[in-house]
């Protein structure tokens, strides 16, 4: 049952309706290749990708959203709580919006699983091959109990993993997506500039993170994340929160940060030194910089991703520091997720394609005790028709606090 058929919709969607139509067309081509009759999407990134809906409701684990994408020419169906009815009308480019709750609209199903099941039944998809977010890099936006209830109510449904199909489409960014990531990179570069300018000995990691967060906040952009690691205590840590720990003379400081824009992430790292670096620190830093630049230089359509890894690892080996860098990968994709496929590892046979947005980040710590430092520089790179473009433009030189 269609509760409301939208006539004019999507006034506040992130992109024009043509962008979403283009995405659907690409997705349907892949669905045809993999014999998927429809997608049932519940994760924020996938629902937003195909609908545009703008809501903070994703932070609640009590009100699942569902988007059904038939493989045929029928439009997508967005299933939302009654409370999101007008949010869906104004910010989503999906015309067929169906509600659950049964309070304001007594004829609506009482819960989201019933509403999704009913929509699938009305679309004639109860015995279809339904692609779900079951595999690599995906998480469904519903509990296991909800999923079990959905399957129990649709015993003939053939649930298949659609993660590969979804990533195949999402890995290649449109011009509009790239511009969002570019804007997030520009905001992050400005945050680095203001925070590093204020960086001082005695400041805590948390204070530095606060400066970064303030720089990442704005009317158009939102803070995504800030990671800070400094000094011997943290040289061997990865993906760690900022501590209430003072920055001391002799510390190297690694900041990994990213703003978001229209739900698109950026993610890049820069380094600073509290006081002049030692000769050993400078040697390791210069090696990391050269390795990172070599990896970026290897980005070109048609090459396997492992060539980026080999370029980074080759520089480290040539400089005699390979035993300090047992690296497993040197980068990843970025988009609606901060970390997306493809993964840039030694065995990555995936070919680089125009429209991919990649990070390059060879990270290593001196072995065995991490007394010299942690070394990590990262760029966000767009694959162009003939090569690449770096869009994380804050300088990679070691920022020295006198």
Residues 143 and 184 reside in one and the same domain: no
The residues facing 345 across adjacent strands are 329
Instruction: Determine the average pLDDT of the residues in 318-336.
Output: 95
> What mean pLDDT, rounded, does the chain reach?
95
State the CATH number of the domain containing residue 267. 3.90.230.10
**Residue % of the chain over a pLDDT of 70:** 98
Q: What is the pLDDT of residues 328-355, one digit of tens each?
A: 999 999 999 999 999 999 999 999 999 9
Locate tokens 């509990």: which residue? Answer: 143
Q: In the predicted model, what is the mean pLDDT of residues 166-189?
A: 98
Write out the two tokens for 204: 């805590």
**Same domain, yes or no: 181 and 70:** no
SS (H, E, C) 316-378: HHHCCCHHHCCCCEEEEECCCCCCEEEEEECCCCCECCCCCEEEECCEEECCCCCCCCEEECC
What whole-number distance in Å separates Cα of residue 76 and Cα of residue 106? 24
Q: Which residues contact 232 (CB under 8 A, 6 or more apart)?
A: 370, 371
What's the Cα-to-Cα distance from 57 to each of 10, 26, 66, 80, rounded to whole Å? 18, 28, 12, 10
| Confidence at residue 61, expressed as pLDDT on a 0 to 100 scale | 84
Find all residues with CB under 8 Å of 331, minimum gap 6, and list them. Answer: 295, 308, 343, 344, 358, 359, 360, 361, 378
| CATH (domain of 14) | 3.40.350.10
Say if residue 6's pLDDT is above 70: no
Specify the pLDDT at position 234.
Answer: 97
pTM higher than 0.85, yes or no? yes
CA 259 – CA 267 distance, rounded (Å)? 8
Question: Do 166 and 257 lie in a common domain?
Answer: no
How far apart are the C-alpha atoms of 379 and 180, rounded to whole Å? Answer: 16
312 vs 253, 262, 272, CA distance in Å? 22, 32, 21
Question: For the residues 44-48, what does the mean pLDDT come to?
Answer: 98
Judging by beta carbons within 10 Å of its beta carbon (0-12, 13-18, 19+), is residue 58 exposed, middle or buried? middle
CA distance 172 to 181: 13
Q: Could you tell me if 64 and 131 lie in one domain? A: yes
Predicted confidence (pLDDT) per residue in 201-259, tens digit: 999 999 999 999 999 998 789 999 999 999 999 999 999 999 999 999 999 999 999 99
Which of 170, 197, 214 is the last residue before a domain boundary?
170
- Look at residue 59 in the predicted model and tell me its pLDDT: 86
SS3 at position 177 = helix
Check whether residue 161 and residue 62 sit in a common domain: yes
Residue (of 42, 22, 58, 70) closest to 170 by Cα position: 22
| pLDDT for position 159 | 96
Contact status, residue 95 vs residue 6, Cβ threshold 8 Å: yes
Do 238 and 103 lie in one domain? The reply is no
Predicted pLDDT of residue 105: 86
Q: How many CB atoms lie within 10 A of CB 175?
A: 8
Residues 86-114 have pLDDT tens digits of 999 999 999 999 999 988 888 899 999 99
Residues 88, 183 within the same domain: no
- Of 152, 170, 188, the position where a domain reaches its end is 170
Helices (H), 159-204: 163-170, 175-198
Give the chain's domain count.
Answer: 2
Q: What's the rounded mean pLDDT across residues 305-334?
A: 96
Phi, psi of 12 (to 5 degrees): -115, 25
Q: Which position has the token pair 């060539």?
A: 307
The verdict on 392 and 329 lying in the same domain is: yes
1: pLDDT strictly greater than 50: no
Q: Quote the pLDDT of residue 218.
A: 87
Q: Are residues 387 and 368 in the same domain?
A: yes
Quick one: tokens of 127? Answer: 């015995």
**Residue 56 has what DSSP assignment?**
G
4 confidence band (pLDDT: 50, 70, 90)? very low
Return the pLDDT at 106. 87
- Per residue in 136-156, pLDDT tens? 999 999 999 999 999 999 999
Specify whether 125 is located in the same domain as 203: no
Are residues 108 and 223 both part of a single domain?
Answer: no
Contact (Cβ atoms closer than 8 angstroms) between residue 141 and residue 51: no
Distance CA 131, CA 159 (A): 6
Q: How far is CA 103 from the centre of its chain?
A: 36
Which residues are CB-contacts of 60 (< 8 A; sequence separation ≥ 6)? none
> What span, in angstroms and rounded, lies between the C-alpha atoms of 211 and 15?
31
Q: 3-state DSSP call for residue 250?
A: coil
Residue 293 pLDDT greater than 90, yes or no: yes
Q: Can you give the pLDDT at residue 8?
A: 55
Provide the token pair at 178.
């790239």
Give the contacts of 174 (CB within 8 A, at least 6 positions apart): 19, 22, 23, 355
The residue among 136, 170, 204 that closes a domain is: 170
Query: Which candidate, 239, 247, 229, 36, places its Cα nearest to that of 132?
Result: 36
| Cβ–Cβ < 8 Å for 290, 319 | yes
Expressed as residue numbers, the domain containing 149 is 4-170
Same domain, 384 and 238: yes
CA atoms within 13 A on the CB side of 103: 6
């Amino acid at each position: 049952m269609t509760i409301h058929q939208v006539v004019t919709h999507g006034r506040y969607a992130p992109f024009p309706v043509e962008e979403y139509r283009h995405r659907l067309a690409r997705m349907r081509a892949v669905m045809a290749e993999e014999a998927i009759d429809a997608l049932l999407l519940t994760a924020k990134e996938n629902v937003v990708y195909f609908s545009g809906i703008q809501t903070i409701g994703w932070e609640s684990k009590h009100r699942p959203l569902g988007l059904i994408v038939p493989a045929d020419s029928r439009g997508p169906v967005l299933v939302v709580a009654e409370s999101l009815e007008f949010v869906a009308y104004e910010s989503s480019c999906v015309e067929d919006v169906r509600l659950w709750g049964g309070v304001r609209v007594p004829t609506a199903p009482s819960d989201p699983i019933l509403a999704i099941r009913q929509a699938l039944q009305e679309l004639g998809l109860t015995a279809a091959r339904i692609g779900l977010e079951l595999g690599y890099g995906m998480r469904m936006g519903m509990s296991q109990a909800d999923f079990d209830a959905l399957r129990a109510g649709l015993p003939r449904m053939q649930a298949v993993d659609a993660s590969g199909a979804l990533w195949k489409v999402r890995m290649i960014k449109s011009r509009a997506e790239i511009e969002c990531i570019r804007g997030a990179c520009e905001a992050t570069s400005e945050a680095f500039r203001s925070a590093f300018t204020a960086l001082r000995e005695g400041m805590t990691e948390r204070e530095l993170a606060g400066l970064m967060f303030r720089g990442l906040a704005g009317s158009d952009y939102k803070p995504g994340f800030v990671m800070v690691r400094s000094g011997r205590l943290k040289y061997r840590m990865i993906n760690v929160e900022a501590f209430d720990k003072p920055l001391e003379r002799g510390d190297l400081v690694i900041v990994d940060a990213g703003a978001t824009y229209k739900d698109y992430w950026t993610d890049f790292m820069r380094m600073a030194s509290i006081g002049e670096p030692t000769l050993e620190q400078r040697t390791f830093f210069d090696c990391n910089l050269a390795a990172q630049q070599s990896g970026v230089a290897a980005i070109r359509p048609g090459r396997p991703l492992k060539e980026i890894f080999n370029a980074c690892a080759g520089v480290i080996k040539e400089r005699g520091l390979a035993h300090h860098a047992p690296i497993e990968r040197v980068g990843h994709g970025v988009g609606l997720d901060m970390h997306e496929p493809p993964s840039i590892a030694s065995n990555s046979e995936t070919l680089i394609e125009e429209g991919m947005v990649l990070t390059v980040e060879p990270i290593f710590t001196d072995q065995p005790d991490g007394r010299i430092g942690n070394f990590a520089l990262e760029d966000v790179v767009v694959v162009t028709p003939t090569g690449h473009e770096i869009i994380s433009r804050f300088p990679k030189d070691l920022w020295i606090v006198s």
